[in-house]
Amino acid sequence: MASAETERGAPFSLDSYYVSEELGFVLPDPLENLPPYYQPWMEIALRVPELVHSHDLRSHVNKMPLLSTDFLQSHRELRLAHLVLGMVTMGYVWQEGENDTVEMLPRNLAVPYWEVSLRLGLPSILTHADAALANWRKKDPEGPFDMDNLEVLVRLPGGDSVKGFFLVTLLVELAGVSAIRSIPAVINGVRCSDSEAVTKALENIGQSIQDMNDALKLMHVYVDPSVFYGVMRIFLSGWKDNPCMPKGLVYEGVQTEPVKFSGGSAAQSSLLHCFDELLGVKHEEKSRAFLTRMRNYMPPAHRKLIEDISLQPSLRGFVQQQANQGLSKAFDDCVSKLLALRSYHINVVSRFITVPAAKARQLRKNSHESEGEMVSRAPASLEERGTGGSGIMTFLKTVRDKTKDVLLHEASK
């Protein structure tokens, strides 16, 4: 629809992309409960950490009734159902760690999960759109969006670190809202050659990316790296490119062939995909393939926004053509902020994955020392891979370097 409007020359706007004025890609006011008929799902979902700990989650799920999805009506009901069934699925698959995974998800979970996923246009696995965008409530509804006033709706094992991980990710998303809201001003400014409007919008976007970077710093305050690495990370992993589940997962009652889905990752956040398309960042083939695949894990309206941004006239080309110092500076500043965010993110990944992975390897070598150490409980197969399935550091560094390539001035590089 937006692209048809574009052809007719109407201004670019965010109206048709399910982007909230206040919250961007974050789901406004997620429901906290499903209609009473779905209590069997809610009861298990709210007890995932405890049932995984006692090794009882699978037996509870096996006894769950097969419920119809016909009574789920609103978008918010479907989003909560997808979140709840996703958490239960991750707990079910990974209850016994990497060594005793399952080949099949039972039909009483698989069938409704598949139906809900089809209606939302999301895959049947826990995504960023579930765990970060639709998994929050304010304790005081009139209070601010900050860590003290926020709570998650459903958790995976990992205690306060899980809560911290999902909520800090939410705060990063919220810090990016102002950038998303400035995108139409950039596009419309380029269309009518209004350098001043584009400069101002790029300055806003740069500031907002800087705010995302500041929010990301909270990860170090609220998440313990050894809990992240040793306890919770496996529950975010998927069944694609994962040596523990080479065949994928059969969704019983849906189809007989196994299906492969990547695990949850903020690579599924629409924010950086929008920035890359706007600024003209061209990723190298392998990273591009991974990032493009991650778009299938986003709500379809957000995926469509990214595609429509990619169809607009080149912003970078416009900036070069205008040869306006202020505009060029705003463009390069904006790219530099994105670069800084990616560099900082690499630091975070190093602290939360690379360092604990090295420690786990060391402990395994001296096997008698490893007992009781949290990091050594982590799956060895995930040492080199992201939960989304990428070969982490090479991927992240290539993505960062390609961002650098769009800077206009050599000096900035």
Which residue positions form the known binding site? 345
Q: Are 69 and 81 a contacting pair, CB within 8 Å?
A: yes
Stretch that binds ligand HEM, among 6-14, 31-39, 114-122, 264-272 (CB under 6 A): 264-272
* Shortest distance (Å) from residue 376 CB to ligand HEM: 18
Residue 34 φ/ψ region, left for φ over 0, alpha for ψ in the -120 to 50 degree band, beta for the rest: beta
Q: Does 379 bind ligand HEM (CB under 6 A)?
A: no
- What torsion, rounded to 10 degrees, do the Cα atoms 391, 393, 399, 403 define? 180
* Shortest distance (Å) from residue 54 CB to ligand HEM: 27
d(CA 115, CA 169): 27
Q: Are 178 and 208 a contacting pair, CB within 8 Å?
A: yes
CA angle 380, 386, 388 (to 5 degrees): 125
Q: Does 261 bind ligand HEM (CB under 6 A)?
A: no
* Shortest distance (Å) from residue 288 CB to ligand HEM: 11
As given in the structure block, the two tokens for residue 300 are 């379809």
Number of residues that bind ligand HEM (CB under 6 A): 26
Q: Does 356 bind ligand HEM (CB under 6 A)?
A: no
* Shortest distance (Å) from residue 381 CB to ligand HEM: 13
d(CA 203, CA 21): 19
| Amino acid at residue number 193 | S
Q: What x-and-dash track marks residues 137-156 binding ligand HEM by CB under 6 A? A: --------------------
* Shortest distance (Å) from residue 132 CB to ligand HEM: 8
Q: What x-and-dash track marks residues 388-407 binding ligand HEM by CB under 6 A? A: xxx-x--xx--x--------
| Amino acid at residue number 95 | Q
d(CA 349, CA 397): 11
Q: Does 23 bind ligand HEM (CB under 6 A)?
A: no
Numbers of helices and strands, H then E, in the chain = 19, 4
Nearest CA to 222 among 271, 263, 282, 168? Answer: 168
Q: Are 176 and 24 a contacting pair, CB within 8 Å?
A: yes
For the segment 202-221, give every residue that binds ligand HEM (CB under 6 A): 216, 219
**Quick one: CA dihedral 353, 359, 364, 370, positive or negative?**
negative
Q: Does 124 bind ligand HEM (CB under 6 A)?
A: no
CA angle 346, 27, 269 (to 5 degrees): 25
The only residue of 95, 127, 161, 169 in contact with ligand HEM, by rule CB under 6 A: 169
Q: Give the nearest residue (CB) to ligand HEM.
A: 386
For residue 142, report the phi and psi dihedrals to the nearest 5 degrees. -90, -10
Q: Does 269 bind ligand HEM (CB under 6 A)?
A: yes
The only residue of 127, 195, 265, 312 in contact with ligand HEM, by rule CB under 6 A: 265
Q: Give the annotated binding-site residues for heme b.
A: 345
Which residue number, 228 or 261, has a Cβ lying nearer to ligand HEM? Answer: 228
Q: Are 208 and 179 a contacting pair, CB within 8 Å?
A: yes
Which residue number, 109 or 272, has a Cβ lying nearer to ligand HEM? Answer: 272
For the segment 332-351, give every residue that binds ligand HEM (CB under 6 A): 342, 345, 348-349
As given in the structure block, the two tokens for residue 66 are 């097969």
* Shortest distance (Å) from residue 134 CB to ligand HEM: 15
d(CA 369, CA 384): 23
Stretch that binds ligand HEM, among 58-66, 82-90, 262-270, 355-363 (CB under 6 A): 262-270
* Shortest distance (Å) from residue 352 CB to ligand HEM: 4
Q: Does 270 bind ligand HEM (CB under 6 A)?
A: no
Give the residues lining the site for ligand HEM (CB under 6 A).
169, 172, 216, 219, 223, 228, 265-267, 269, 272, 342, 345, 348-349, 352-353, 386-390, 392, 395-396, 399
